[in-house]
Each structure stands twice: as structure tokens, then as C-alpha cells.
Amino acid sequence: MRIIELATRGVDVDYDVARGMADLLASKLAGEVMPVAWYDGKAGKGYPDVKECTGDVPGWLAYAQSHGGDVRVNLNGEEFVFIYCPVG
């Protein structure tokens, strides 16, 4: 999995801003991509909320890994995480 680490200073980033930045960076790195999973550390929730997954990996991350997640964008030390898979 390719990982992009992004940090911001001087601005409070919400989900919408974080998603927009992540979408842009992922597409610059990998071309046309589709979001597979995300994590909002501020709210403490991930999507999809896969309860069946157990072990050391959160459900949203296990889902992304098993569904072609190839690009990961971490924002502000995993305050937000977005995972994408290539389209096509």
C-alpha cells in the first residue's frame, strides 16, 4: 500500500476539508481512484463499520485491505485516514 502523510498547521481541518485534500492527493498519485474506507479520529469512527473483523486491525482497515485499498492518505498523524483503490 502506498502511503501519503499530510500535515496541516494553523487551520482546524474538518472531515470535508480532509476528504477533499485526500481525494486530490490520491488521484495525483494513482490516477482515477475510488474511496474504499475512511477513519475520523476526531469522532472515533471508521467506515465501513465492519463489526465482524477481529484482531489487531480495525474493521474499516481490514475491509479496505481486502477490497483493493492501494493508496492511504494519513492527515495530521491519522487524525483522518482515507484509503482508495484504483478504478479500472
Q: In this structure, are residues 87 and 69 in contact, taking their beta carbons and an 8 Å threshold?
A: no
Grid cell in block for residue 73: 492518505
Quick: pLDDT tens for 33-71. 999 999 999 899 999 988 766 678 889 999 999 999 999
Q: What's the confidence (pLDDT) of residue 88?
A: 75
Query: From the CA atom positions of the chain, what is the Rg in Å?
Result: 12
**pLDDT at position 5:** 96
Instruction: Give per-residue pLDDT as tens, 3-31.
Output: 999 999 999 899 999 999 999 999 999 99
Q: Which residue in 23, 42, 39 sits closest to 31, CA to CA?
A: 23
CA distance 55 to 71: 22
What per-residue confidence (pLDDT) applies to 50? Answer: 81
Q: How many domains does the chain have?
A: 1
Task: Assess contact for 33 and 26: CB atoms under 8 A.
Answer: yes
Q: Which domain holds residue 47?
A: 2-86
CATH assignment at residue 62: 3.30.1490.340
Tell me, what's the pLDDT at 53? 61
Residue 82: per-residue pLDDT? 98
As a whole number of Å, the end-to-end CA separation of the chain is 17
